Amino acid sequence: MSRVVVLILSVVWMLIGTASTVSAQSNDPAVVAAEQRAFRQAVAVVEPSVVQVQTVGGTDRAGEIFIGGGPSTGLVVDPEGYIVTSAFGFATKPSSVLVRLGDGRSFPAEVIATDHLRKLTLLKIDVTGLPTVEVSPREELKAGQWSIAIGRTYQVEVPNVSVGIISAVDRVWGKAIQTDAKISPVNYGGPMVDIDGRVQGLLVPMHVEDEQVTAGVEIYDSGIGFAVPMDDVIASVERLKAGKDLRQGMMGVQFKAQGFQGRPYVSLVRQGSPAETAGLASGDLITGANGQAVANVADFKQVVGRLYGGDPLKIKIDRDGKSLDLDCLLVEELAPYQRPFLGIVPQRELADTPKDQPGTVIRAVIAGSPADKAGLKANDVLLKVAGTETTKSAFLATAVTSKRVGDEFEVRFLRDGKEQTVPVTLSAESAAIPEKLPAVVVGDAGDEEDRPKAGVIRKELPGYGRSYWAYVPEQFPKDFRYGVVMWLHPPGMTMQEELLASWTSVCNQRGLILIAPLAEENAPWTADDLVFVGDCLGDLEKTYRINESNMALHLHEKTTSVGLELLALKSVMFQGVILVDNTTALPALKSTPERELMFLLVSPKADAVSVRFDEESARKLREGKIPVEVLVEDFESEGYPKQESVDAIGRWVDSLDRI
């Protein structure tokens, strides 16, 4: 059977799938036949340059996404053996790569470099004279054009094909074309072509808010797919040939706007960032970028979102009514962020908090902090910080985090009915445990029948056939916002009795819920359990109100690795991590403005190995500007800390909303 005949057969299913689209345009058999011939001819033009990419080794999962070991697709971009594909297939860190051409020949491939911004990976095989493709210029891409998605996975001899239209251009901050052609992991890395067989783009998973290599794959069957415009692919390939990975260009600013439609007023400029070097300052309004007008945050991201580290960026700003032009050189990676710290734990704003309360009440002051050095005390009422009225703790937090470590300003506060003012110089955030922290006090708990179930509860999670247990304090009203401690037990031992004995009184004092997902038959935790663990927390939130500023992940011994994977998920947000008796080297983590995170490392005094691991882990965390506190306590290795230590851990969790 000839290759042309095989190709014709391979698109039959595609033609059936698009029959409704075709018939909607015309019922004329001649028109339908002409369209079918055009589809076949377009595929035939590009098909010789479409290859199968098979990875060998590595893991079968990246975060929450199961990738498996099936083949994906690639496209020849240079006759000298260069092939570009989607980086999605390489999230598993394979040990080797095999490329199979449409004519059946197979070659081992070398990974040259990866474009992390556009999710492309460049491969090289030892062969020359490969057929290449014609590119559809970016300026000719229009919504409504035919788009034919091609892969080579099910059978190497026959490409798999689907047909749709371009539904939008310049999506995902200018990086992608959107299509309604059927896109799935098997044709990631393959071309999307027009009716003339010219390549419009390379198929990849994309997500507007998440830049991880697997982000967007979860929506592949939703009728929305993305492709990197081929002009951009070719430009990326020329840079990737040098063997250096490409990454998103970083500027180092945050905006006051909550959402993409707000005006781009700068709220924070990272220390040592390109934005600071360029002269950008808090309060500036960005009005232009690389010659394009900027009306909102979305406009700005549309320009910057497609730039790499090392690319120049010209910005126009409005500062106090005066227009200024600034030159910025983007970088691939920003220095770790140092979160500024005042050193107070604010009084919780509970249901019975007076609405006319003049400011933010200090619940506790962290010893040695700027607030402590300035003479602030518990029960002082903060009225104004750095010129900002602090009628709510959220306003206070914003006033502090908009500043930088080393900034000095005045704090106005009320003590014993008298207003006072003191100067304060912010320090880097501290993870110190408050020596004194009053228990959470609330008013009338209300009718017991009106409150959700309290005490020790156990619940099977629907859809999993697995359970979690939790302890919920009994004395709090139904609208109380609980802090959370999530416990991941060591393999083979839930330690429920030990945890309840130690944490019941702490939870009652601190308004905390202790929740413990149960591993399957007490087996070791794996990456496959991450979704289940996150869903346990989500199930808890259906019944109880949660204070999202006081959530800690509690790990012990052999649960550290999977716990760190859980932290990496954007769907589960903890502010604190408690590691007890840890014997796992922590990776190099870095602080960012987008996420507050601090660690409490607790090791048994008699276990020199655990103490050494904690000391080394603390050093690495501090290098990444992540606050960390180390406790070396008197308890048995592989056991659980004594009550005095657990009381201190409880105070630490209760103070995670520190400012």
pLDDT tens-digit series, residues 316-330? 999 999 999 999 999
d(CA 203, CA 180): 12
Confirm whether 476 is domain-assigned.
Answer: yes
pLDDT tens-digit series, residues 588-598? 889 988 888 99
State the pLDDT at residue 101. 94
Domain tally for the chain?
4
**In terms of Cα–Cα distance, which of 314, 348, 351, 350 is closest to 330?**
314
pLDDT beyond 90 at 557? no
Interacting residues of 620 by C-beta distance below 8 A, sequence separation 6+ = 586, 587, 588, 589
**In terms of Cα–Cα distance, which of 442, 637, 399, 644 is closest to 545?**
442
d(CA 539, CA 431): 29
Give every strand in the sheet of 312-319, ordered side by side.
Answer: 292-293, 285-289, 312-319, 322-329
Q: Looking at the structure, do residues 121 and 148 belong to the same domain, yes or no?
A: yes
Report for 7-21, 223-237, 251-265, 626-640: range of highest mean pLDDT: 223-237
The residue type found at 128 is T
State the pLDDT at residue 209. 63
pLDDT tens-digit series, residues 267-297? 889 988 999 999 999 899 999 999 999 999 9
Interacting residues of 635 by C-beta distance below 8 A, sequence separation 6+ = 604, 605, 641, 642, 645
Q: Looking at the structure, do residues 19 and 76 belong to the same domain, yes or no?
A: yes
Q: Looking at the structure, do residues 648 and 521 belong to the same domain, yes or no?
A: yes
Q: Looking at the structure, do residues 474 and 602 belong to the same domain, yes or no?
A: yes
Mean per-residue pLDDT for 127-139? 94
State the pLDDT at residue 358. 82
| Better pLDDT: 522 or 125 | 125
Q: Residue 156: which pLDDT band, with cuts at 50, 70 and 90?
A: confident
**Where does residue 248 rank: exposed (0-12), middle (13-18), buried (19+ CB within 10 A)?**
buried
pLDDT tens-digit series, residues 48-71? 999 999 988 766 555 555 555 678
The CATH number assigned to the domain holding 376 equals: 2.30.42.10
State the pLDDT at residue 380. 96
Residue 409's H or E segment, with its range, is: strand 408-415
**How many Cα atoms sit within 13 Å of 652 on the Cβ side?**
30
Interacting residues of 359 by C-beta distance below 8 A, sequence separation 6+ = 381, 382, 383, 384, 389, 390, 391, 413, 414
d(CA 351, CA 180): 48
Query: Could you list the residue range(s) of the whole structural domain that residue 628 is in?
Result: 453-654
State the pLDDT at residue 532. 93
Confirm whether 44 is domain-assigned.
Answer: yes
State the pLDDT at residue 211. 62
d(CA 629, CA 598): 8
pLDDT tens-digit series, residues 425-475? 999 999 999 999 999 877 666 666 677 889 999 999 988 989 999 999 988
Confirm whether 434 is domain-assigned.
Answer: no
SS3 37: helix
At residue 17, φ and ψ (nearest 5 deg) are: -65, -25
State the pLDDT at residue 432. 95
Output the CA torsion sign for 114, 175, 221, 527.
Answer: positive
Q: Looking at the structure, do residues 464 and 579 belong to the same domain, yes or no?
A: yes
Mean per-residue pLDDT for 121-129? 96
State the pLDDT at residue 186. 78
State the pLDDT at residue 71. 87
Mean per-residue pLDDT for 180-201? 91
Q: Looking at the structure, do residues 399 and 545 belong to the same domain, yes or no?
A: no
State the pLDDT at residue 5. 31
Report for 91-100, 130-139, 562-571: range of highest mean pLDDT: 130-139
Give percent of the chain with pLDDT exceeding 90. 62
Q: Which of 199-213, 405-419, 526-540 has the lowest mean pLDDT?
A: 199-213
The residue among 329, 349, 384 that closes a domain is: 329
**In terms of Cα–Cα distance, which of 37, 35, 34, 40 is closest to 3?**
40
Confirm whether 520 is domain-assigned.
Answer: yes
Residue indicated by tokens 């011994």 = 557
Confirm whether 422 is domain-assigned.
Answer: yes
Q: Residue 3: which pLDDT band, with cuts at 50, 70 and 90?
A: very low
Write out 194-259 in H/E/C secondary structure: CCCCCEEEEEECCCCCCCCCCCCHHHCCCCCEEEEEHHHHHHHHHHHCCCCCECECECCEEECCCC
Q: Looking at the structure, do residues 560 and 590 belong to the same domain, yes or no?
A: yes
d(CA 193, CA 190): 10
d(CA 1, CA 237): 36
Q: Looking at the structure, do residues 91 and 146 belong to the same domain, yes or no?
A: yes
Q: Looking at the structure, do residues 93 and 11 belong to the same domain, yes or no?
A: yes
User: CB 481: neighbour CB atoms within 10 A?
Assistant: 17
* Phi and psi based region of residue 26 (left: phi greater than 0; alpha: psi -120 to 50; beta: remaining): beta
The residue among 284, 308, 329 that closes a domain is: 329
State the pLDDT at residue 8. 32
**In terms of Cα–Cα distance, which of 305, 312, 313, 308 is closest to 246?**
308
The CATH number assigned to the domain holding 122 equals: 2.40.10.120
User: CB 324: neighbour CB atoms within 10 A?
Assistant: 14
For residues 102 and 157, is the Cβ–Cβ distance under 8 A?
A: yes
* Phi and psi based region of residue 299 (left: phi greater than 0; alpha: psi -120 to 50; beta: remaining): alpha
pLDDT beyond 80 at 351? no
d(CA 412, CA 183): 58
Q: Looking at the structure, do residues 231 and 305 belong to the same domain, yes or no?
A: no
Confirm whether 447 is domain-assigned.
Answer: no
Q: Looking at the structure, do residues 550 and 608 belong to the same domain, yes or no?
A: yes
For residues 512 and 655, is the Cβ–Cβ distance under 8 A?
A: no
Alpha carbon separation from 43 to 47, 52, 157, 196 (Å, rounded): 6, 16, 13, 9
Residue indicated by tokens 């509970």 = 350
Confirm whether 463 is domain-assigned.
Answer: yes
Helices (H) and strands (E) in the chain, counts: 15, 36
d(CA 157, CA 6): 8
Q: Looking at the structure, do residues 288 and 365 belong to the same domain, yes or no?
A: no
Confirm whether 247 is domain-assigned.
Answer: no
